[in-house]
Chains A and B, each alone.
Chain A
Amino acid sequence: MSVLRNPWGKPRFLAVMTGGYIIWSVLPVLIAIGFAFNDGRSRTTWQGFSTRWFTGETGSVLHDPALRDALGHTLLLAVICVAVATPLGVALALGLQRWRGRGSGTVNGLMLLPLVTPEIVMGVALLLLFLQVFGGIGLGTDAQAIGQITFTLSYVVVIVRGRLVSIGPEFEEAAADLGAPRRDQFFRVLLPLLAPAIVASAAVAFATSIDDFVVTQYLSSDASTTTVSMLLYSSARGAPTPALNAIATVNLMITLLTLAFAYLVYRRFAGRDEATAVATLEV
């Protein structure tokens, strides 16, 4: 049968193509990470291994205030974003899942819109909102956090709803049949079952916040609101040092560790297939 499933004859060509694709998509980044450890100023010529751009006395991620502050601000925004978007999104997912009838379709559509809106449109809309309507908030950290929460919220809802669908209403119904009060049904039955999805969505919110660029840039104000992405954008065209590669590397490591942790949690509690489903669907 396996021959029949394979319309191209031996898939060697496809295997080579896939391998080539993976190398093409990952290798440049690996090289960029490599140059973060370059002992010289160049980002194109290798001059020996060193961690000077991470921890060196001058111009390193650790000691250059501009780099260090950008990393700090990036993390601060990510923490705020997770702290607000996760509970807000979990509640919205629960509400939407059970809310039948008038209005639910509209709210569902509204929830999905930020996912398909190009970032520049959101950036412009939020910029004008904070300039024209919420002058009191103005631009800066608050505005950046609100902007990031607005679109990460939808990711949280989508992930949590996926888990709600796969749990189904049976558990709660069984608990109700056994006479558990409603509050217990929620806190002792539903919430533990949802826990892996909450962890996963928090991790996705964290990673999305860290890597966000457009909305964060549009809503930034002074030097203290510069993030790593903004730094990469403003420096990449000129003649940056490998410290730029170094800070991008640190950024990447934080993102990947967060996601790996969440994936393991999800797999442990919700099973491998579902974890893979979340990982592939929630892009």
Chain B
Amino acid sequence: MTRGESTAVERVFREEYGRLVASLVRRFGDIDLAEEAASEALVVAVERWPRDGVPPNPGAWLTTTAARRAIDRIRREQRRDSKHQAALVTFDDSPHEPTGAVEDDRLRLLFTCCHPALAPDARIALTLKLLGGLTVAEIAHAFLVSETTMARRITRAKTKIAAARVPYRVPETADLPERLGGVLTVLILVFNEGYLATGEGHPVRAELTGEAIRLTRILHHLLPDEPEVTGLLGLLLLIEARREARVRHEQLVPLDQQDRAGWDRALIREGHGLVRECLAIDRPGRFQILAAINAVHTDAPAAEDTDWGQIVALYDRLTRLDPSPIVASTERSRSPNSTARRSPSRSWIGSPCRSTTRGTPPAPTCCAGSAAAPRRGPRTTPRSPPPTTAPSAPT
């Protein structure tokens, strides 16, 4: 197999992995079995696709192959004895019927991985493993812990899901805002870890920021009417758009010194569109306001054109919504610092805030993150959320 073909298989598999595992978990009610079957299907794909060509619907092919493997495994090992039944996740054996607006198994899996009964570190790891298809080694590397530690963390969480019967379903409407807040927190923490990578090496880990965006896109596709999801996606895209300009010679460049020609205009356009969607829905929340702040920054052709009036107004809303010290001190550091704008700017401010999610997700370091501050050195213990990086100049 050529390098190109192997990359093609890898890409398809990465794209399909979350969906594959999610549908197998629903069908068989066993996360380990789902993962094993998904891996076996990949092995078959790697053998056959280069020879026979990639099938027209790779996702369906992988699902059918993996399901056959899972059934074989169950028969072979006679795992469906009473003891095994007892350890099954609470699963839904009904045909795959849409439940309300939401019908994707990945959404159920995401809510299971981000269940509040699991340790915060484990939620992030499980999400990356089961929905992102990252290996234990990759996740351990990203969070600077040993592979053994990460494997133990993931196994413990999976055992708890099975033993305590963490349900595999999308929460009831009444619980959705709070539970959704937990999921969004996991996604932004994954992004943060990539955006403000700790340890040696390049300050940005694109594989983590990319994965966070990919998962948030899926969530936005599945829950298009939840403005905080839209807001988070907008926020991540507007930050990601500045990625190339944000690092020079492996050093972070503050926002006002960045070469704005290096910003990704397509991502900025998409991000701005999402912020406008939020403004139209008019149910403001934390991530939407953070996205709007980034919209104001990315709307300015040059740093001195920044509409500080809007930035201050938005931070004011954020402080009212979430009086955390990081937000308050970031707001102080962002006060209008000099020049007035030369030209009128678009408004990114909606109506006064009402919180749409309960609970306070951690302050994203990507917005209040350090640029001038010295890079943190390698750490030996995982940073548990919420991150508490001291705010300074934005990047």
- Whether chains A and B associate is no
Using a CB–CB cutoff of 8 Å, the interface residues on chain B facing chain A are none
